[in-house]
Amino acid sequence: MKRLLVAAILLASPRPHAASLPTLYTLHCSGCHGAAGHGVPERGIPDLHDAGLYAGLPAGRAYLAQVPGLTQSRLDNPTAARMLNYVLTHFSADNLPADFHPYTTAEIATLRGQTVSDAPTRRQALLAAIEGKKPR
Ligand code: HEC
């Protein structure tokens, strides 16, 4: 399932000559999050394997698309959408909600255009909300 999703997203590339998502990940994201997506959590760089957890909350879905690493990257909106879908399905498929639907270019464009409060504060609030939702 996870492989199928990744393959579908890779094949959906609108521009045949555009760099592949793994290559773009290496260029734009791996410097912080690492080649294998594990980040450096003790230094505040999240492990992308956990990122899918946020997608289950509306505020978390927005947060994922509004992290500075993505919004301030040089990726255009269609590519940013595909990149976010790629990292979520590639690294965090196990944590994605069953009803996860991929980000669209329009959704990314809207979220990217919003002025938001700082990512670490939002992240803390979301983690508390996710923790509160877990069955005890
Ligand atoms: C300069 C370092 C840096 C780069 C480059 C970077 N990120 Fe991040 N990323 C972070 C940090 C730090 C956070 C935590 C939120 C914050 O403080 O911005 C984060 C959070 C995230 C999250 C949310 C996960 C969580 O647990 O909070 C996602 C998804 C993400 N980044 C994806 C990407 C993608 C995709 C790219 C490449 C386009 C990228 N990042 C590039 C540093 C970076």
Contact, 126 vs 59, CB < 8 A? yes
Q: By alpha-carbon position, which residue is closest to atom 2 of ligand 1? A: 32
Residue 97 pLDDT > 80? yes
Instruction: Point out the ligand 1 atom lying closest to the alpha carbon of residue 67.
Output: 18
Contact, 55 vs 110, CB < 8 A? no
Q: Given ligand 1 and candidates 38, 67, 103, which is best to mutate, with the most ligand atoms within 8 Å of its CB?
A: 67
Neighbours of 12 (CB within 10 A): 11
Torsional class of 135: left (φ above 0), alpha (ψ -120 to 50), beta (otherwise)? beta
Give CA–CA dist 90/7, Å, rounded. 10
User: What is the 87 CA–ligand 1 centroid distance (Å)?
Assistant: 11
Residue 16 pLDDT > 90? no
pLDDT at 14: 58
pLDDT tens-digit profile of 36-85? 999 999 999 999 999 999 999 999 999 999 999 999 999 999 999 999 99
Residue with more model confidence, 134 or 76? 76
pLDDT at 29: 98
Q: By alpha-carbon position, which residue is closest to atom 43 of ligand 1? A: 69
Residue 13 pLDDT > 70? no
% of the chain at pLDDT higher than 70: 87
Work out the angle at residue 112's Cα, subtended by the Cα atoms of residues 129 and 47, and round it to the nearest 5 degrees.
50
- Mean per-residue pLDDT over the chain, rounded: 92
Q: Is the CB of 49 within 6 Å of ligand 1? A: no
